[in-house]
Amino acid sequence: MTDGPRSDVGRWGVSPWQPPTTPSPEPEPEPDRRSRRGSRSFWARCCSCCSCRSGADDDWGTGPHRDSGSRGGGSSSGGRRPGSRPISRGSGVNAAGDGAIREGMLVVTGVDLMCSRSDQNRREHHTDEFEYDELILRRGQPFHMVLFLSRPYESSDRVILELHIGNNPEVGKGTHVIIPVGKGGSGGWKAQVTKSSGQNLNLRVHTSPNAIIGKFQFTVRTHSEAGEFLLPFDPHNEIYILFNPWCPEDIVYVDREDWRQEYVLNESGRIYYGTEAQIGERTWNYGQFDHGVLDACLYILDRRGMPYGGRGDPVSVSRVISAMVNSLDDNGVLIGNWSGDYSRGTNPSAWVGSVEILLSYLRTGSSVPYGQCWVFAGVTTSVLRCLGLATRTVTNFNSAHDTDTSLTMDIYFDENMKPLEHLNHDSVWNFHVWNDCWMKRPDLPSGFDGWQVVDATPQETSSGIFCCGPCSLQSIKNGLVYMKYDTPFIFAEVNSDKVYWQRQDDGSFKIVYVEEKAIGTLIVTKAIGSNMQEDVTHLYKHPEGSEAERKAVETATAHGSKPNVYATRDSAEDVAIQVEAQDAVMGQDLAVSVVLTNRSSSSSRTVKLHLYLSVTFYTGVTGSVFKENKKEVVLAPGASDRVTMPVAYQEYKPHLVDQGAMLLNVSGHVKESGQVLAKQHTFRLRTPDLSLTLLGAAMVGQECEVQIVFKNPLPITLTNVVFRLEGSGLQRPKILNVGDIGGNETVTLRQTFVPVRPGPRQLIASLDSPQLSQVHGVIQVDVAPASGSRGVFSDAGGSSRSGETIPMASRGGA
């Protein structure tokens, strides 16, 4: 993404963020949530001219305003139990003029925003799952309210509704909205009287499809012959406004209801990992409707001083989120860690959802340790779905990381075709996880609407900051790398060629092999309405080897740093190579095989073969070679032969790293033709699943019990074992310390929870220890509603206990 100077760098700047003083009621975070602050602000680095804006401008203030959903926003319910239907009653104070209330004035004595989950507003706006008391709306859609007045409403009275957001609201920036009742407002805002009965005034209010998203203060102003009245601001009357994929006038509009149900309203999903041949999957709790998560999402925008006036633009909002979900630059949500040492935080594999991470960030303002790509992507899905953007989590297998904008993956070998790791700066990740979000792109020419890539994993900088996207899938598919944002980097991730360079006797390097189908071999996401995976590779690239695909690659590489990279290529290839690895479980012996095939029908071929085996992080960073094999193979015309290398558990055990992945580098030389063979193959060791069983029926407000069973697959003791349990509407994030688990031992534990919302729910668990990670389990829980109620949010289901020590219910041998 370091694609040179740009004309579209940043548009914002802000003074250093100051932490709000309002404490949050959210659960205690993990210990040692540390922060790192940069010397210059996020927006100042993004655009130097913006950093000089006057501090008097409301969009460039010194810190987040309390009314915008910042860290203290979690307490805005004022102590009311969720699920109640608050009606704000006037204080008898006039906030206008001299404050006097005169006889005959039209005094607003109360407001009913009809904001409970069972009311019409929340149901029609698809926000009834939010565990909030306040009114939550989607823009571009009408809602209803009732004003309680001191006297009957008369035709000569004027009623004006007002919404404010930001430190110094201004009409011109959309941060101060004025809506005269019975008259057309500006920008799509308007309000009409639907019923006037006695001292009650029923209104239907239309919001603008371009409205700013965030938490607004609401008040009412009246004018009558007796004078002006202004209702004082009441925190109970705060209104959240979100993007609206149900509104055709909103640029985030999605025209398929099944897509909206999956990509906006679904609170859990599947994330895929591993290798293309050995795909693993895990369930992730997005939890976008959990109490506190919406405030955390708005706090992220506040934290980096994004101007309120720009928060109606999903292009800008998604780009900010891609930057702020990682901690680099300016102390964002998650600290990335690929070192293998997670002793000062949480192993990325141990997280089961986004809620604990977001609530910790909201409460402390400190970056949460630690995340890797699927955690960044899972949190990004939670945030964007919460704000109203249709978003999905996408996995790209064999994902390239191009460090020099050449749009090729360059791998260097010595004269004997042994990898030269000190020169191999480009890498191929076994898998990489990012996000697609749906929107129109009015900032681009026509044809680039629809799915846009957003990647919050910090890999390379874009305009000087660690962010990526939004980038149209159409520009990626056709190699249009000059389209913003960050198309060159993402194109290389899915459709670059792997170029093998061999050092010659004179020290120069020569291209000996180009692998054209090695990158972006499979791109998947969770299917709509099921837990199956959906192949979306065709949305990112034309069929491999097709004329359109080759044209896209040529178009892209022409704009790269090595436009003539293929000029030195020469090859004569009649020996084919294929690598096979058996499906192996962590703790067991395994074997890898190389199959050589002579495609010549008339001549024999003699192949000098080298096999180098090493462990590898999923990011493509490899350890030292711990086993190698050399063999000469003679192939008759049209014949095949297999070379097998057995690997014992005791051989690979000392070298294992996260994810249990290994890399086999295969190289060879054909004596008769001079053909050079080169192949890299990654495979992984499977880990066991947790088995979850529900013990009894689940009902809102009633205690329920779940049983978790795990068998240690290793012959060694697992120490300091930690379980995590989480499920939206079922269980707030919970941490269970269970101590040690012996070699090949089976353990069982039971936990109780109290469901707080009805319907089908996912309860997700994970296990982590220094010796074994990436162990997960999930169970669907169908929750019946409480008798005579849609469900009440209770502390019993919402508690979060950190560091609880849990005794085992039973233990068993192998």
User: Sign (positive/negative) of CA torsion 337, 338, 344, 348?
Assistant: positive
Element (H, E) at 795: helix 795-798
Question: Cα 177 to the chain's mean position, in Å?
Answer: 32
Look at residue 59 and tell me if it is in a domain: no
What is the per-residue pLDDT across 695-730, written as a single tens digit (0 to 9) for each?
Answer: 999 999 999 999 999 999 999 999 999 999 999 999
Q: Which of 455, 486, 658, 768 is catalytic?
A: 455
For residue 1, the one-letter residue type is M
Look at residue 531 and tell me if it is in a domain: yes
Residues 321 and 391 reside in one and the same domain = yes
Look at residue 404 and tell me if it is in a domain: yes
CB 755 within 8 A of CB 83: no
Q: What is the largest CA-CA distance in the chain?
A: 109
Choosing from 631, 659, 685, the residue where a domain stops is: 685
Choosing from 499, 530, 559, the residue where a domain stops is: 559
What pTM was computed for the model?
0.83
DSSP string over 126-140? T-TTS--SSEEEETT
Given this model, what pLDDT does residue 427 score?
Answer: 76
Given this model, what pLDDT does residue 789 score?
Answer: 57
Given this model, what pLDDT does residue 426 score?
Answer: 73
Question: Cα 306 to the chain's mean position, in Å?
Answer: 19
Residues 500 and 613 reside in one and the same domain = no
Residues 653 and 721 reside in one and the same domain = no
Residues 359 and 471 reside in one and the same domain = yes
Q: Can you read off the two tokens belonging to residue 551?
A: 């044209």
Given this model, what pLDDT does residue 458 score?
Answer: 72
The residue ranges of the chain whose pLDDT is under 50 are 1-84, 567, 791, 794-801, 809-814
Look at residue 22 and tell me if it is in a domain: no
Residues 748 and 718 reside in one and the same domain = yes
Residues 235 and 374 reside in one and the same domain = no
Annotated binding site: 495, 497, 544, 549
Annotated binding site for Ca(2+): 495, 497, 544, 549
Q: Can you read off the two tokens belonging to residue 690?
A: 């947790």
455 is catalytic: yes
CB 471 within 8 A of CB 459: no
Instruction: Output phi, psi for 342, to 5 deg.
Output: -120, 25
Q: Which of 236, 432, 610, 681 is catalytic?
A: 432
Residues 200 and 261 reside in one and the same domain = no
On the CB side of 588, CA atoms within 13 Å amount to 14
Residues 196 and 228 reside in one and the same domain = yes
Domain count, the chain: 4
Look at residue 39 and tell me if it is in a domain: no
Burial of 11 (C-beta count, 10 Å sphere; 0-12/13-18/19+): middle
Given this model, what pLDDT does residue 572 score?
Answer: 60
164 is catalytic: no
Q: Which of 373, 386, 471, 704 is catalytic?
A: 373
Look at residue 795 and tell me if it is in a domain: no
Residues 464 and 513 reside in one and the same domain = yes
End-to-end distance of the chain based on CA atoms, in angstroms? 50
The residues that bridge with 777 in the sheet, in sequence order, are: 765
Strand 704-711 with 676-686, pairing? unpaired
CB 26 within 8 A of CB 74: yes
DSSP string over 410-453? EEEE-TT--B-TTT---EEEEEEEEEEEEE--TTS-TT--EEEE
Look at residue 433 and tell me if it is in a domain: yes
Structural domain span for residue 229: 108-242
The residues that bridge with 581 in the sheet, in sequence order, are: 592
The whole-angstrom separation of Cα 340 and Cα 379 is 21
Residues 437 and 511 reside in one and the same domain = yes
Residues 423 and 548 reside in one and the same domain = yes
Choosing from 219, 242, 265, the residue where a domain stops is: 242
Output the domain CATH number for residue 198.
Answer: 2.60.40.10
For residue 676, the one-letter residue type is V
Look at residue 276 and tell me if it is in a domain: yes
Residues 294 and 428 reside in one and the same domain = yes
52 is catalytic: no
**Residue 757 three-state SS:** coil
